[in-house]
Amino acid sequence: MALLIWILVGLVAGSLAHIITGARGCGCIGNIIIGMIGSILGGAIISFLTYRNFDLAYAFNNFSVTSILVSTLGAIILLAIARIVRL
């Protein structure tokens, strides 16, 4: 069940990141991968900024607004880095 939730959060976060940044679509699988990597990146950033551990296991096992926002933040940063590297 946790994997299904992580895939769903990844899909939503990846799709939102593509809409917000105006990046080309990578398709459903690409959005899931970008969202999943964004979850890890976003969790690391939130942990660093708040000096608290952002519990990734909790975020992956619970479909919540917080987990989607953190994942979307990470996915946006990931797409921005990809855009810079591509230039």
Q: Which pLDDT value is given to residue 68? A: 87
Kindly give the parts of the chain with pLDDT less than 70. 1, 25, 53-62, 87
Q: Which pLDDT value is given to residue 78? A: 92
Q: Could you state, in order of their start, the residue ranges of all structural domains in the chain?
A: 2-86
CA geometry: angle 53, 40, 87, nearest 5 deg: 130
Query: Residue 51 carries which DSSP code?
Result: T
Q: Which pLDDT value is given to residue 53? A: 67
Q: In terms of pTM, does the model score above 0.85?
A: no
20-31 pLDDT, tens digit each:
988 776 788 888
Other Cβ atoms closer than 10 A to 55: 13
Q: Which pLDDT value is given to residue 82? A: 87
